[in-house]
Amino acid sequence: MTILQLHDVAKSFGEGSQRVDAVRGVTFAVGRGEVVALAGPSGSGKSTLLALAGALLSPTSGAITVDGKDITRYGARARTRYRRDRVGFVFQGSNMVPFLTARENLLLVGEFGGIDRSALRRRADELLEKLDLAGVRDQIATRLSGGERQRVAIARALMRDPALLLVDEPTASLNLELGIRVVDALVNEVHVRNKACIMVTHDDRMARRADRLVEIRDGQVLAG
């Protein structure tokens, strides 16, 4: 069953001679319980695609539907709500709130409203356990190691039980062994919880752990 569907999506930045066509007519779908690895060289449009799927950017043309609803028609408030309730983001850089503990970084998502907080506390403890973070739950984010931080980021993305997980180079700052462990934890969560996931990576060894590989060059999909 399809969760995310991109249909002939294009995105360009700038005007005239400055114009960059970052994504050019991309069509593909991600189903429930599926991890799609999005691979391609630097500058090929991977992050832009992820931002489009997460309503951080609006496409220049084309349609993006999530659970059958076209998110490109959403206004500013609906987009904020969509990101809050339907999407779990894991960004490339450090995306922790530095002065919060690991556990508080998870509970943070309850701050934005629209959810029962006591259920969130249970969920946070459960995810910390599952991602092997129970020992550092009360550690301030800046004291966490790179691998711990990435796993907290994944746990946070899962907190509100989103339909769609969007992950940008989750292992860029990790060594191979740690990277594989983080990706495996992610893939496992997606399978168990029946979510759709796009994971951007330029590392074949990570891409192989996904269910499917989508390769992208110069803003276009090569094979799917």
Partner 1 sequence: MLALIEIRRRKLQFGFVTGVVLLIAYLIMMVTGLGLGLNQQAGTALLNLNGDHLAYASNANLSVIRSRLADSDVSEIRSIPEVERATPLGYVAVVIEYAPETSDTAAILGVIPGSFAEPEVIEGRSIAGPNEILIDRTWTRLAGAGVGDSLALPVAFDTRTFTVVGIVDQGYFFFQPAMYVDLSAWQAIVFQGEGAQQPAASVVLLQGQQLAGRSGAGWQIVTKQDGFENIEGVRAQQSTVDALRYMGLLIGAMVIGVFFYVITLQKTALLGILKAIGASGVYLVTQGLLQVLVVSVAGAGLAVGLALLTEATVLSSDSIPIRFTWGAIATAAISVVVAGLVGVALSARQVTSIDPIIAMQQQ
CA distances from 92 to 12, 49, 114, 174 (A): 22, 14, 27, 11
Which range in 1-9, 46-54, 135-143, 158-166 contacts ligand ADP by CB under 6 A?
A: 46-54
For residues 172 and 158, give the distance between their C-alpha atoms in angstroms, rounded to a whole number.
20
For every residue of 148-191, DSSP letters joined together read HHHHHHHHHHHTT--SEEEEE-TTTTS-HHHHHHHHHHHHHHHH
Report 25-54 residues binding Mg ion (CB under 5 A). 47
**Least distance from C-beta 77 to partner 1, angstroms?**
7
Tell me the CA end-to-end span of the chain in Å, nearest whole number. 17
Is residue 118 near ligand ADP by the rule CB under 6 A?
Answer: no
Is residue 43 near ligand ADP by the rule CB under 6 A?
Answer: yes
Out of 5, 44, 105, 171, name the contact with ligand ADP by CB under 6 A: 44
Which of 2, 94 has the CB closer to partner 1?
94
Which of 24, 160 has the CB closer to ligand ADP?
24
Where do we find the tokens 């989508």? 214
Count of residues that bind Mg ion according to CB under 5 A: 1
Which of 44, 105 has the CB closer to ligand ADP?
44
Which of 43, 135 has the CB closer to ligand ADP?
43
Where do we find the tokens 């069509």? 27
Strand runs labelled E in 40-181: 61-66, 69-70, 87-90, 164-168
Cβ atoms of residues 202 and 40 within 8 Å? yes
Compute the chain's Rg from CA coordinates: 17
**Least distance from C-beta 113 to partner 1, angstroms?**
8
**Least distance from C-beta 12 to partner 1, angstroms?**
15
Which residues contact ligand ADP by CB under 6 A?
Answer: 13-14, 20, 22, 40, 42-48
Which residues contact partner 1 by CB under 8 A?
Answer: 47, 50-51, 54, 56-57, 77, 80-81, 83-85, 89, 91-95, 97-100, 104, 108-109, 111-113, 140, 156-157, 160, 168
